[in-house]
Structure 1
Amino acid sequence: MPTPDRTSLADIVTAARHILESQGLPGLTMQAVAERVGVRAPSLYKRVRNRDTLIRLVAEATVREMGERLDAVAGSGDPRRDLRELAHAFRAFAHAHPAGYHLIFNNGPAETRPDLDTLTLASAPALRVAADLAGPEHALPGARMITAWANGFVSMELAGAFNLGGDLDETFEFGITRLTAALTAGTPPRVG
């Protein structure tokens, strides 16, 4: 077995992400990760404090990857196209990493949640697109609207909750079109 010095934190997190996707959160144990990277479980604790820390590291790596994928598609200069590409990248990421996706949108214990800096960086593409569509003063609520719609759709899709039939790809496109229209409709009236 390799010594702990030969097992990097990046290798540990990568192994943990693979275990999460193949065995779910209950299967993501320190012992399983140690076996996967080829060390004894006590050696793993030299790199990772405990399971909650491991889950947080996995969540942060997942958020960073998703943010990078979103950032790669949201820069054409055409905000309508960028929203469409952003939504499709979001959906594709969730399908490619369903357990990781669920982890980052799950309200788990504070010790397992990604830090604010990681979330802020990953949110930048949605904030840019929302600002371009709805205006800078509406960037945050617009980005929240985009994320809430996309997360709701994808979460239902992954759960098999669309039971009335129909083409989900067409439905997704319909949602993007309506979301774009809502964000570009102008300044909404004040509530309250």
Structure 2
Amino acid sequence: MIPLAIRVYLQNKGKRMDQDIERLFEKMCDPNESEAYLFADKLGLKADEEAKNRLIEMIKGDNWEVAYLACRALSKTHWQEEALDAIFEVIFDKKNKNLQGAFVQILEEYNLSERFVDVFRVYLFGNFKASTLAKDLLDQVEFEITPRTIRKAEKHWNHYLHNPEDEGSVSIKKSEVEPMLLEMRELFS
């Protein structure tokens, strides 16, 4: 049995933590706050399960600036995989085509080693800025590659070849992607 004094202390500490988290949310979301990034970072370091869920909802919300800050906050947590699922969902949503670049840019804050196919899809199907940033990630990140990863990437590559959004970029991407896929296949032959 936990003594009453300790239980009261823990309850008060929990209330203070909730108030701190709420204050960080307010500061992060305040459009007049010049240091919103710092509050996002602090929020990420203090986030609990409830805050994580709220941040993920913000990523999917209509305010892209708050969504970006929510992505930044989640990059500081141990819920990166859940956050990446939400971020890629937003990136691939057609209504966000003009905002893709901002969301791809925040990916630099995350461990992407297991996300080759997602980054590859952004490279193929993203707008110019998103595609360029994704290409940089493909060149810089050390990805975990498996035969399954290669098959999935080839599936998206074939889809791109048969449905290019920009005919002019096909030859450029072909010159970059085909050697990349060949090199990956050679790893397993």
TM tier, smaller:
0.3 to 0.5
* Structure ranking higher on relative contact order (CA contacts 8 Å, 6+ apart): 1
TM-score by length of 1: 0.33
TM-score by length of 2: 0.33
